[in-house]
Chain A
Amino acid sequence: MEGRAGTPGAPRTENRALRTMVPITTLHYLVVAAALFVLGVIGVLTRRNVVIVLMSIELILNAVNLNLVAFSRMWGNLHGQVFAIFITVDAAAEAAVGLGILISFFRNKETINVDEIDLLKW
């Protein structure tokens, strides 16, 4: 059964079967969630546009949700999913209030730059 890599036959199909049969475990989902979380943190800390900062916060919340639902499947009960629903509801409320604050600030100062929003009182 040992053949060279160039010969069509048992070894190649065996490799292909092995490659596609690696089951997707909880760890895979945790890695994706960690990547989304770090991307969200980079967005919050480095962007100038306030709207994009708020969108990065939504990325962070989605990463947390993905983590919760992946663990809910690992343990086999639905607590993680219910908590994820609550976090989604919370994110909606927070986005609405945050954007309301942004709009009322924009009316006063005509800017959406985090570098220019630097006075406690004007």
Chain B
Amino acid sequence: MPNFIMSYLDPKVTVTPGSAGNQFWALMYVLIIFAGVSVAVICMNWIERKALAHFQVRLGPMRVGPHGLLQPIADAVKLMIKEDIIPAEADQFVFWIAPMIGLLAAFTVYTVIPFGPSEAVSDMNIGILFMLGVSSLGVLGIVVSGWASNSHYPLIGALRSSAQMVSYEVAMGLAVVSAILMTSLNASGTGTLSMIGIVQAQQQQGVWFIFKFFPLGFIAFVIFAIAMVAETNRAPFDLAEAESELTAGYHTEYSGLRWSLFMLAEYAAMIAVSSIAVTLWLGGWMRPFPNLLHAPAWDFIFSLFPGLTFGALAAITFIEAARMPTQSFFKIQRIGLAVFAALLGFIALLLLVIAVAGRSADMSVAARFREGIDYVYWFVLKVAGFMYLFIWYRATWPRYRFDQLMKIGWKVMLPISLGVLVVTAIVGVIFS
């Protein structure tokens, strides 16, 4: 049995645990992804509140921890100890199961998302098809939750929200198809639907698909970026769940832990569709300029980036801790922030040690570890950029009225994505 577990840790193994048939490590990857996504959702909650506040020239949560760092934990505890109210005439079983459907759909997408060439749970050869199908199961959760609440506002909110999601799924699917079309522009003329295959096609063709046949790849990327904001019901397409409309839409009647499941599903879906956009158009786990700047010196410089990023974060946090007010009742917050800065510095040091120890390109354990960390780092950095864009959209743009939203989805996005698909196919045939 230990041989079965240890055989996957051999540095020469370069396939995902699903492809290697190793159930133990596939399960470990699933648990790591689940824990990582939960931590990311908590961080995202804090970043959203602070960033929105700074956009609106105010400070956001400052009291719960140093600079509000413990605010998400306080929110989670509050939601867990709230009273669980179920409407009297609601369908009990359906009311209970509706948040779970959304959560299942949001989290199942993570089985195909590649954080590296072998850092994925499994490399299904219909990866992108699976992603599209499972994210369309999320609509069911919303429809059922609106129905089960047995009240007007949730029902109208659920129908509007699901109509919006179904409309923008069409444009999203066509944009995805035009990216997959670009994977078939290689020597053998065969494309691939597997997510790892799509990133490897970008590596082989030497260009991120967002820059391929400029501006065709860019237009497809923009269409996917707009459609994914509409898919996750985020601003400016959040009519169905905004506070000032429809009294919070389909999750009006849910309180406490059930509501937090909806929020978890929404943020997890945001991270999932951003990961899809990064994989399809922005080169997935590849560092910038992998083919152009190919020398080992450049590899070493780029592998220092994870450690330097955490080092910069640690330095900023330390400076903030030094700038905090010096009264006695701020002392514990100052000490807390300094401890947090020390923690970030320790992580930075660890990453720098790994980068230096594994700087050779051979198959040693340290080199394999460094490669894995580099792949995950570049992927997470690009996804984090998308997350910040989500928050920026919410702070900046007014929301669309529902008929404007549907008009854009059907009359603007669908023809443009169809046109991009046809033109990409024609250009691809001409230039190959």
In the complex, are there CB atoms of A and B closer than 8 Å?
A: no
Residues on A lying within 8 angstroms of B by beta carbon are: none
